Amino acid sequence: MKIRISCKALSEELFKLQGVVSQRSTLAILSNALLEASGNTLTLHATDLDISVSTSCACEVLEPGRVTLQARSLFDIVKNLEESSLELETEDNHWAQLKSGAVSCRIVGTHPDDFPHILDTSNVELFPIGSEVFLDMIDKTLFSVSTDDARANLTGAFFKVSEKRTLLMVSTDGHRLSKIETRPEEFVAGDNIPNALREGIIIPRKGLAEIRRTVDVKGPELSFGILENSIVFKYGPMSLSVRLIEGTFPDFTQVLPRESDKRAVVQKDLFLQSLKFVSLFASSKTYNVRLSLGPEGLQLYASDPDRGEATKTVPVEYSGPAVKAGYNFRYLLDVLNVLESDVVSVEIIDTLSPTLLRDVDRDEMLFVVMPMRL
């Protein structure tokens, strides 16, 4: 392989790979990137076996071929070159010789066949999905994805195309649940939606985080498709495939509380600020904060034998009977932090039933937090 390429273009593409190349894997090859030159493009691949990123850029191919080089160090090398272009040529022992202006170096490489199998994503049927809407869906659900490997099916977000052609994303860790259902303008799907999507798939946490990191709302169009057991995202020249989590997502409709009349509407900023204040007195083991709804308003209370106790009452629109329940305040903060509206609704049914938090302006999403025993 022999190519001539602009340093800036190469370092930009290499940057996109850095999120998935791992330094500390037992499999040394995973810290490498696979470079493929053919036609007049250079394609770069990197994978951590769960997420694979491929990206390409234009370059002058003097001799087509493939090589794998250490992704991190190649990025560092290219970033620090002063000239505008460089020439990369592989040797027989799979090392690569890099020349740029006065610089000449040899970089250790390995046989390209040692690189893990890369999914061929060129023939996947893609559905456009508005990047703004999709990123919003990730924001609203990512925080409640479980981190407990013992329940692998919860370590990702459930994603499904419903019969009404809406996109549904749900995540839960057993203590709380986030659900959002949207209908992006960009998403026009006929009857050819893959079965997997109709039934729902589980996208792992890391894959969602990686999308969140690389996709920019102002960037090119984002589209997705299903290939074997991966979901493939295309974003400009870049394609990102994420291996789906096998297993079934629990039937979450059962834990969703039914509409109740005990709905309280509260100013979000005030609620957030009060919660932060009262939580200063929450136990550092249980993070427990008690919410009580009554005629005098929403009362927040926390106590800890080592710190003392505190209450704060915030005004609410509420007409139901008095109820109270205890929560892990961090779960409440997580929800309030992702809501954009000025007012939120809180529905406490009783001390032990799941509590519902909603954005009053946006019906399409809801958040459930399980109370703690007081």
Residues near other proteins, by CB under 8 A: 26-30, 49, 110-111, 113-114, 116-117, 149, 152, 229, 243, 245-247
The tokens of 198 are what?
């109709």
**Nearest alpha-carbon partner for 354 in 325, 318, 323:** 325
Cα–Cα distance for residue pair 11/22, rounded to 1 Å: 18
**For residues 31 and 279, which CB has a smaller minimum distance to other proteins in the complex?**
31
What are the C-alpha distances in Å from 223 to residues 161, 211, 212? 14, 12, 14
Minimum distance, C-beta of residue 107 to other proteins, in the bound complex (Å) = 18
CB atoms within 10 A of CB 309: 12
Minimum distance, C-beta of residue 356 to other proteins, in the bound complex (Å) = 32
**For residues 29 and 168, which CB has a smaller minimum distance to other proteins in the complex?**
29
What are the C-alpha distances in Å from 97 to residues 46, 78, 89? 21, 13, 5
User: Which residue reads 């303008």 in tokens?
Assistant: 185
**For residues 116 and 184, which CB has a smaller minimum distance to other proteins in the complex?**
116
Minimum distance, C-beta of residue 147 to other proteins, in the bound complex (Å) = 13
Minimum distance, C-beta of residue 246 to other proteins, in the bound complex (Å) = 6
Cα–Cα distance for residue pair 129/224, rounded to 1 Å: 7
Minimum distance, C-beta of residue 220 to other proteins, in the bound complex (Å) = 29
Minimum distance, C-beta of residue 278 to other proteins, in the bound complex (Å) = 38
Strand ranges of the sheet holding 355-359, from the earlier edge strand across to the other edge? 201-204, 156-161, 167-172, 176-182, 362-369, 355-359, 343-347, 263-267
- DSSP E strands in 2-118: the ranges are 2-6, 32-38, 41-47, 51-58, 60-63, 65-70, 85-90, 96-100, 103-107, 109-110
Minimum distance, C-beta of residue 154 to other proteins, in the bound complex (Å) = 12
Residue type, 313: T
**For residues 111 and 276, which CB has a smaller minimum distance to other proteins in the complex?**
111
**For residues 28 and 352, which CB has a smaller minimum distance to other proteins in the complex?**
28
**For residues 31 and 182, which CB has a smaller minimum distance to other proteins in the complex?**
31
